[in-house]
Amino acid sequence: MFGTSGIRGIANSEVPCELAAQVGMACAQIASSPGLSKTGAGNPGKPKAGQGASGKPLLAVGMDSRLAAPMIKMAFSSGAMSCGCDVLDIGLVPTPLVSYATRKYSCDGAMITASHNPPEYIGIKLFSNGVEYPRELEAKIEAIVKSGAKPGSFDRTGALASADLREEYLSYLISLVDAEIIAARKPKVVVDCGNGAASLSMPYLLQKAGCKVVSVNAEPNGNFNRNLEPNEKNLADTAAVVLACKADIGIAHDGDADRAIIIDEEGAVLPLDVQLAIMCKNELEQKPGKVVSTVEASLAVRDAVEQAGGTLDITPVGSMNVQRAMSKSSCVFGGEPCGEYIYPYGVPCPDGLLSGLKFVEIFCKKGNISALAGKIRQYPIYRAKFPCKSDAKKSAMKYIDNEIKAFPGTPNGMDGIRKDFDDGWFLIRPSGTEPAIRLTLECKTPKRLDELKNKLEKIMGTAVSLAKAGEVL
């Protein structure tokens, strides 16, 4: 039921209202059970920490701008209220604002989103005291749903309230950067909200910080002008706007704004590894220490961390894994090469709004982003995904594993199939958010990359074709 980032699937078929209601009921049981839900220090004030106005356990619920989001939000909320939880509806907000709300009230909560997936997808991401539900709690939710959660008696019915925390959150974000230097420089920023959750927050955050803002795709009406995954191909029009406006920097978000992708003043979408390397160096310059990334981290990221005097810890893919590793030791930063970054002084989940604002701060302090990117040593890298239905992934991966056993290199089974060799590495892993298997390949020379790319693509193409036909055992 859960992938690497909550529940996610096609609305009505894979994620129907019935499932959302059942998950809401299960969350209410978790929130009502002492010792199951993580607890932490919330801010003083009303409602009382972890409780709604009626004194019942509280769940904070937000959503992105997908057409199915209100439907799933209402179903989830109804299920939660039927099992004795009060629900605080915080509206159309970025995912990090749900993290902020659950930490503010020391409660659990849910973000209704499918992040960067296409518009027909919807999902539910669960939080407790600012942190994504760990696998242990997801397993409890799934067990309750499978056993058939039932509504409680009438006297246990919870109440619904609403709150607008956006202005408070934007002020909080500005307090985390050098607001004076941004206000003094007044940079021109193009922000592409993707018609998603950033639309009602990011342009106003930048204006509040003193930027001159050009907003594109900022109407959160359920109609999306571009693919929700903010990659180079999908951001071509936005890059053209950056050039036409002579902007200092461009920022683009996915559907729920936990990602931020940067476009430099020349209209170039930064390679994800270069962008991550710039942020690693920036954070290590402020405070030397440890950085956390995933098995997908490139040689460019590793080089940048070492050059900045830091050390790099590696986790399986997924922001939950990055956050948990950060919480176990003192880390200055955590990030994945997809534009998802976690700051120990911010909310404990990826925050695309803060990341975008941080890059504006970096520009104001250090100059053109293109020059900073030019200082990052890059190696030839290739990323691709091969469509594969979820129920066929296991068979496809088994075939791939058998085929690459003879490949030279040191195997790494932390997440998927990875091999490291003298002049590079590759990683093949089933996506936890899409019906696909992903390939990442990095080599020190283009010739070596092309050689391995052709071999691996052939193996993966055969694997997904056989798995689709049901021929792989």
> What does the pLDDT average to over 213-238?
97
pLDDT in tens, 307-337: 999 999 999 999 999 999 999 888 999 999 9
pLDDT of residue 41: 31
Closest to 355 measured CA to CA, from 272, 289, 298: 272
pLDDT at residue 53 in the model: 67
Q: What's the topology of domain 381-469? A: TATA-Binding Protein (3.30.310)
Q: Evaluate whether 7-164 and 169-374 have a shared fold.
A: yes
Q: Give the domain ranges of the chain.
A: 7-164, 169-374, 381-469
The pair phi, psi for residue 222, each rounded to 5°, is 90, -5
**Token pair for residue 340?**
């998802």
Per-residue pLDDT tens over the stretch 231-271: 999 999 999 999 999 999 999 999 999 999 999 999 999 99
pTM of the model: 0.91
Residue from 456, 464, 401 nearest 436 by CA: 464
Structure confidence by residue, pLDDT tens digits, 157-215: 999 999 999 999 999 999 999 999 999 999 999 999 999 999 999 999 999 999 999 99
Q: What integer pLDDT is reported at residue 413 of this predicted model?
A: 87
CATH number of 7-164: 3.40.120.10
* % of the chain exceeding 70 in pLDDT: 95
- pLDDT for the residue numbered 49: 55
Give pLDDT, residue 471: 62
Q: Which positions are annotated as active-site residues?
A: 115
Q: What is the CATH number of domain 169-374?
A: 3.40.120.10
